[in-house]
Chain A
């Protein structure tokens, strides 16, 4: 029997918070605070999400099967409190890739417009 995979396209586009959470989890399991820190780092501080937005997004992503709860354990880098860890599912990984490709296509369109020439990749200078 042919295996039919769920269509990640059906879940696009993602909100910036959800996409960045998926990216933060791409390196492995993380707890909530670690996700917040990673998002701030990977966006160079341009996107900072608070705990409410984080857990609203996590709630919806758990419902949609993009992430799962891994377990609950203390983070030795912080304190002795137990923290809930999350990780990507296979579907979550595929949705992250699909969203990245969608954004890439959008960026390619933007680069082709005369108004947004400054976005075009800089060609290497001769003799440089």
Chain B
């Protein structure tokens, strides 16, 4: 029978407030995902207890519910800090997803670096006169091509197995593998918008610090343009960039979701460690080569590096951010490889 108690007793309200406060002390991820249902169930426990034994029933529940909340939240903190002994298969599955996201970040960084060195003729000239600089840049380019190959060759069999297992359940089940829920899509859209805003602030900030170029008829200067055109143009840039980032994130999230929802054998997951190892290797090589390349440019051709054709006019901040992104993707991939390798050596029976 539905419980219809419009006015909650004060003791329940006070207990819920206290429990809500206790939950707010918990780790971020747990707090974000489970505060609402935990509060809902806590309140329901109290309502049931009150219905059976009144206020005494509610008070009698306090030691159990508050005690287990304190111990549980503390344990969850410890779990988040030191990690949880995870079973082998989910760990490698997570390593695959982390490496895939790292590859996407790495690819964006490489594409951005390519845009920074466009037009490439003066950079090529420096590379020809200083072979070490040229070799470093070639390593960056080839590393990305090898990384892409590793993702394709490693990812296709995994996708094939996922689809093969899903197809017998009907095309809808296969399609469901890749579905992003509306709430997740909204979250991705929000993240895309935030990235766009940060990106534009970074661009405008570095431009302002390095000194805005003087207005000419040909450089698309906005000074003197009608306000409506400026606002409209800015809004179009924000919307376009947000949508572009959203599409990238959505595709990545969709593929990651398919990997999470599919069941793979130990052999297949162990096989995935090979492309992850290749990724880690080439990402590390590319990051080191990019660092060497930018430092080398400043040493062997300082005037060119400082010029607008080189890395001047705020480009250097951009390149540092790119190398930072490459280093981050390398770290994530190496860490994913480490935990994947560790998990693959685990015995079959373990404490969860």
- Residues of A at the B interface (CB closer than 8 Å) are 1, 3-7, 9-15, 18, 31-33, 36, 48-56, 58-60, 63-65, 68, 76-79, 81, 83-84, 90-91
**Roughly how many angstroms separate A77 CA and B87 CA in the complex, as a whole number?**
37
**Roughly how many angstroms separate A85 CA and B158 CA in the complex, as a whole number?**
30
Give 5 CB contacts A-B under 8 Å: A51-B39, A51-B69, A52-B73, A60-B84, A64-B86
Interface size class of chain B, counting residues whose CB lies under 8 Å from the partner chain: 35 or more
Q: Does B129 contact A (CB under 8 A)?
A: no
Closest to A91 in B: B263
**In the assembled complex, how far is the CB of residue B102 from the closest CB belonging to chain A, in whole angstroms?**
20
Cβ < 8 Å to A, chain B residues 53-98:
64-65, 68-69, 72-73, 75-76, 84, 86-90, 93
Judging by beta carbons under 8 Å apart, are B40 and A33 in contact? yes
**Roughly how many angstroms separate A8 CA and B190 CA in the complex, as a whole number?**
38
Scoring B residues 161 to 188 as 1 if CB is less than 8 Å from chain A, else 0, what string do you get? Answer: 0001100000000000000000000000
- Residues of B at the A interface (CB closer than 8 Å) are 1-4, 23, 30, 33-34, 37-42, 44-45, 64-65, 68-69, 72-73, 75-76, 84, 86-90, 93, 164-165, 260-261, 263-268, 346, 348-352
**Roughly how many angstroms separate A48 CA and B61 CA in the complex, as a whole number?**
11
Judging by beta carbons under 8 Å apart, are B265 and A32 in contact? no
- A3, A14, A83, A84: the one contacting B352 at CB < 8 Å is A14
Closest to B40 in A: A81
Closest to B66 in A: A50
**Roughly how many angstroms separate A111 CA and B39 CA in the complex, as a whole number?**
43
Judging by beta carbons under 8 Å apart, are A50 and B64 in contact? yes
- B37, B68, B76, B264: the one contacting A83 at CB < 8 Å is B37
When A12-B349, A59-B33, A79-B2 are in contact, do A48 and B86 touch as well, CB less than 8 Å?
no
Judging by beta carbons under 8 Å apart, are B69 and A6 in contact? no
- A13, A33, A68, A76: the one contacting B351 at CB < 8 Å is A13
